[in-house]
Chains A and B, each alone.
Chain A
Amino acid sequence: MPDMVTLSYPSPSSKPQQRQFNPYSENGGTILAISGADFSVIAGDTRQSEGYSIQTRYAPKVFRLTDNAVLAVNGFAADGNMFVKQVRQRLEWYRHAHAKDMPLRAIARLIQTMLYARRFFPYYVYNILGGIEEDGSGAVYSFDPVGSYERESCRAAGAAQSLVQPFLDNQIYFKNQVALPGHPHPQHLPLLTVIQLVIDSFTSATERHIEVGDGLEMFIVLAKGSPLYGVENIAGVQEMTVTNEGERIFVVRRNLKRD
């Protein structure tokens, strides 16, 4: 007869092992969007990194979706690229069904639905959607990875969010600035001022954050019938508009420090 001592239940040490594969990574970089009265500016740097390694100096994070919507995606690059691809396919089906582009606020809700559908295996991605609403106003929508979203006038996300957002709060929302009597803070800033703020945000973030740099890609969406505000004179500006009837999209590319 076997010894009774061996007749026992497995010890706690033989519990299932922890799986070691981590399906996520973090690829650095920063994105930013600011809306004005009749325009929207959406920007991102082009560096993609993992840890201390720069994987590439040019990996776009900002994508034109339609003539009035631009999506910036930051976080885990593989998820980000796949997400943009899927959003684009959904927009294509919308075009087939309705023979027009999906309006911005509908794209925003679509994105929230798509993100929340993966609530329990999320896209590890922060999204910022910029463009022009149906009423002609500039708009920015920001999302968390599982789909919480809101419309704002400005938002920064990604590696240098903590550096850029406070700067924006101060310069766009005039936080901690006291207006002079009879000179209230403006409701909306002019386009060229906003562009300067965006460029300054990225050069500063590049100085102080190792994951930000190499290149800046900045999309400018103008409302239907809006003046150009001097966008056409910016060095290296390129128009991305497809149809000649509605909103117009421009892209500006700048170099950032590569160190």
Chain B
Amino acid sequence: MDHFPTNWGRPRNDGFDAYGTYPIAQRPYNGLGNDVFSEGVQRTQQPIVTGTSVLAIKYKDGVMMSADNLASYGSLARFKDIQRLHPVGTNTIIGAGGDMSDFQYIQALLDDLMVEEFTEGDGDGHALGPGEIHEYLSQVMYARRSKMDPLWNSLIVGGVKDGKRFLSYVDLLGTTYSASTLATGYGSYIAQPLLRKAVEGNEDNITEEEAVKILEQSMKVLFYRDARSLNKYQIAKITSDGVAISESRSVDTQWSFADGIRGYGAQTQ
């Protein structure tokens, strides 16, 4: 859909023959297919306000996840205080890239689910863990893609349940996978190799401090290279003690090298 009201035109064509002076066949046509509302219900979309990468790793005590606070409108850095990490229940966090309004819908969906779960179960010892949340989300995402009406997101679900770490991915196609390091969007190209190098085969030894360092380093690299990223991000950890999402933070960056590089800073020529 065209989102610029100035392009919407008028509801009726000026050429409308108000007095019916022409034979029907020659009347000005103003019917279907001529205005911007002609598509009727719009199902397929493109993401509008978007979040960029989410990163997540397993470490000794659980799972750690990070995402920056930016929601972009195309290339415009539109909203700079958006939280893209969302707790679900007591031991799960989901992180989202992609369309932020779809993500808000998913948050509402999961909040409803938790309320329903509470009224039905109410502490019977069968609370939904990260595995169940991920399965549910996959079903929702796959069902929507099958209706050709996708929720335009890449989601990472992480958590700890019964002492077991869980980390899994699902996206707008319903594609799922799990691994000890995950990254969505640009992060899957830029950060994932760094994360794998630091974490693969080392999941049981990485301390909390080390895990934070690994994610900070990756977020910094992403900020240097991903034009849709922001140097303001949050880190969430999920351990057997529950979930904790940090305040927004930033990393120190160094841009002096950019001075002489054409295409980076302000150019004099």
A–B contact (CB under 8 angstroms): yes
Q: Which of B142-150, B222-230, B243-251, B252-260 contacts A (4 or more CB under 8 A)?
A: B142-150
In the complex, the answer to whether A77 meets B29 with C-beta atoms within 8 Å is no
In the complex, the answer to whether A10 meets B33 with C-beta atoms within 8 Å is yes
Tell me if A98 is interfacial: C-beta within 8 Å of chain B. no
Tell me if B163 is interfacial: C-beta within 8 Å of chain A. no
Cβ 8 A contact of B44, one of A9, A21, A25: A21
Interface string of A1-44 (1 = CB under 8 A from B): 11100111110001111011101110100000000000000000
In the complex, the answer to whether B142 meets A6 with C-beta atoms within 8 Å is no
- Given the known interface contacts A19-B148, A23-B146, A82-B174, the answer about A56 and B179 at a Cβ–Cβ threshold of 8 Å is yes
A59 to B179 Cα, complex, angstroms:
9
Residues of A within 8 A of B46 (CB): 20
Tell me if A242 is interfacial: C-beta within 8 Å of chain B. no
Cβ 8 A contact of A9, one of B14, B29, B169, B179: B29
In the complex, the answer to whether A23 meets B34 with C-beta atoms within 8 Å is no
In the complex, the answer to whether A6 meets B28 with C-beta atoms within 8 Å is yes
**CB proximity to B under 8 Å, residues A26-83:** 27, 48, 50, 53, 55-59, 76-78, 81-82
Per DSSP, chain B at the interface is loop
In the complex, the answer to whether A58 meets B179 with C-beta atoms within 8 Å is yes
Tell me if B104 is interfacial: C-beta within 8 Å of chain A. no
A58 to B145 Cα, complex, angstroms:
24
Tell me if B20 is interfacial: C-beta within 8 Å of chain A. no
Distance between A124 CB and nearest chain B CB, rounded to angstroms: 11
Cβ 8 A contact of B150, one of A21, A48, A81, A121: A21
Distance between B218 CB and nearest chain A CB, rounded to angstroms: 16
Distance between A52 CB and nearest chain B CB, rounded to angstroms: 9
In the complex, the answer to whether B15 meets A2 with C-beta atoms within 8 Å is yes
- Given the known interface contacts A16-B39, A78-B142, the answer about A27 and B175 at a Cβ–Cβ threshold of 8 Å is yes
Distance between A88 CB and nearest chain B CB, rounded to angstroms: 14
Cβ 8 A contact of A56, one of B33, B34, B146, B177: B177
In the complex, the answer to whether B176 meets A6 with C-beta atoms within 8 Å is no
Residues of B within 8 A of A3 (CB): 15
A58 to B14 Cα, complex, angstroms:
63
- Given the known interface contacts A7-B15, A21-B148, A53-B188, the answer about A77 and B176 at a Cβ–Cβ threshold of 8 Å is yes
Distance between B38 CB and nearest chain A CB, rounded to angstroms: 8
Tell me if B178 is interfacial: C-beta within 8 Å of chain A. yes
Distance between B167 CB and nearest chain A CB, rounded to angstroms: 10
Distance between B31 CB and nearest chain A CB, rounded to angstroms: 9
In the complex, the answer to whether B169 meets A53 with C-beta atoms within 8 Å is no
7 A-B Cβ contacts within 8 A?
Answer: A8-B28, A16-B33, A20-B46, A50-B175, A56-B177, A78-B174, A82-B174
Ranked 5 nearest A-B pairs via Cβ = A78-B174, A6-B15, A56-B177, A7-B28, A56-B179
Known: A7-B26, A25-B173, A82-B174. 4 other contacts (CB 8 A): A21-B150, A23-B173, A78-B145, A81-B176
